[in-house]
Each structure stands twice: as structure tokens, then as C-alpha cells.
Amino acid sequence: MSFNDLASIDDLYVVCYCEDVNFGEIMKVIKSGVCDLEKIIEITGAGKGCGKCISPENDPAGERAIHLTEIIELAKAEGYCK
């Protein structure tokens, strides 16, 4: 599964299984103006467990369909982040 735009991701899609953080929670933070990876982790808790949801580099086996860094890049491309 791959995501080409943010609209293709369901709000209830779980991005971080360890901390049970879904895409909608992450987007709420991004839409509030927070686009820094560390701040998103701090606010949502996503990535504080095993860390595989942070980036493809942290997930060498490809267990996650999308990662926080990829969500941030899509958000930047779509104008949510400056």
C-alpha cells in the first residue's frame, strides 16, 4: 500500500501501533501549524515505542505503510506546512 496524497489516507488509519496514534490525530497537529517531526512525536506520542513509524530508515522490513516523515513531506507538498 502506498499513499500519494493526504486525502487518500483515512483519519482512523493507525500510523503508530505502539502508542495507538491514528492519521487524524497527526493531521490535527499538522493543521494547527506544527510540522516539526520532534514536536509531532512529543504532542501525539507517535514514535515513542518501537520507532518504526517515524521513517522508512527506522522500518527496514517495511512493516508500516506510511511514516511520520512521509506524512510531513506530503503535508509540505500540499501546503499545510511552510
**For position 52, which CATH number holds?**
1.10.10.1100
Within the chain, which residues score under 70 in pLDDT?
Answer: 1-2
- SS3 label, residue 21: strand
In total, how many domains does the chain have?
A: 1
Q: Is residue 71 part of a domain?
A: yes
Q: Is residue 66 part of a domain?
A: yes
Q: 26: how many CB neighbours lie within 10 A of its CB?
A: 27
Q: Is residue 50 part of a domain?
A: yes
Q: Is residue 1 part of a domain?
A: no
Query: pLDDT at position 62, please?
Result: 93
Range of the domain at 19: 6-77
- pTM of the predicted protein model: 0.94
Q: Is residue 82 part of a domain?
A: no
- Contact by Cβ (8 Å): 53, 22: no
In the chain the first and final C-alpha atoms are separated, in Å, by 27
